[in-house]
């Protein structure tokens, strides 16, 4: 069984576990399945809107897909989520990514 399949099974067993779903997102991205990664990142954000790393990775994937408008949206929402959860490092990282889009 591939790592991707193993992670899919783990997500099915524990759909509320944001860390396992994040690992699945990253595995999709590492295999070049950016649409799959973005779909799972969107699901992760919907389930855990305070999970700042998901917004950052979604922004990066959107940039890879050359969707600057979506990347800008993910980074902007991610900055808000990071500030709300008290994560200034994540907020700064996404602010820099957002500024680099301009």
Does this model's pTM top 0.75? My answer is yes
88 DSSP assignment: H
Query: What is d(CA 4, CA 8) in angstroms, rounded to the nearest whole number?
Result: 6
- Domain of 41, in residue numbers: 3-101
Condensed to tens digits (0 to 9), the pLDDT of residues 49-94 reads 999 999 999 999 999 999 999 999 999 999 999 999 999 999 999 9
Query: What is d(CA 100, CA 60) in angstroms, rounded to the nearest whole number?
Result: 12
Report the half-sphere exposure of 91 (CA within 13 A, side-chain side): 11
Query: What is d(CA 84, CA 5) in angstroms, rounded to the nearest whole number?
Result: 34
Query: What is d(CA 39, CA 54) in angstroms, rounded to the nearest whole number?
Result: 11
Q: How many domains does the chain contain in total?
A: 1
Query: What is d(CA 37, CA 56) in angstroms, rounded to the nearest whole number?
Result: 12
- Report the CATH number that the domain containing residue 85 is assigned in CATH: 1.25.40.10
Query: What is d(CA 96, CA 58) in angstroms, rounded to the nearest whole number?
Result: 15
Condensed to tens digits (0 to 9), the pLDDT of residues 5-29 reads 999 999 999 999 999 999 999 999 9
């Amino acid at each position: 069984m591939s790592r991707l399949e193993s992670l899919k099974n783990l997500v099915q067993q524990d759909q509320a576990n944001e860390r396992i779903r994040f690992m699945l997102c990253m595995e999709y991205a590492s295999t070049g399945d950016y649409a799959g990664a973005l779909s799972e990142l969107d699901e992760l954000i919907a389930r855990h809107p305070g999970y700042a790393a998901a917004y950052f990775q979604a922004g990066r994937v959107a940039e890879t897909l050359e969707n600057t408008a979506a990347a800008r949206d993910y980074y902007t929402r991610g900055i808000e989520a990071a500030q709300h959860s008290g994560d200034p490092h994540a907020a700064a990282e996404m602010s820099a990514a957002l500024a680099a889009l301009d």
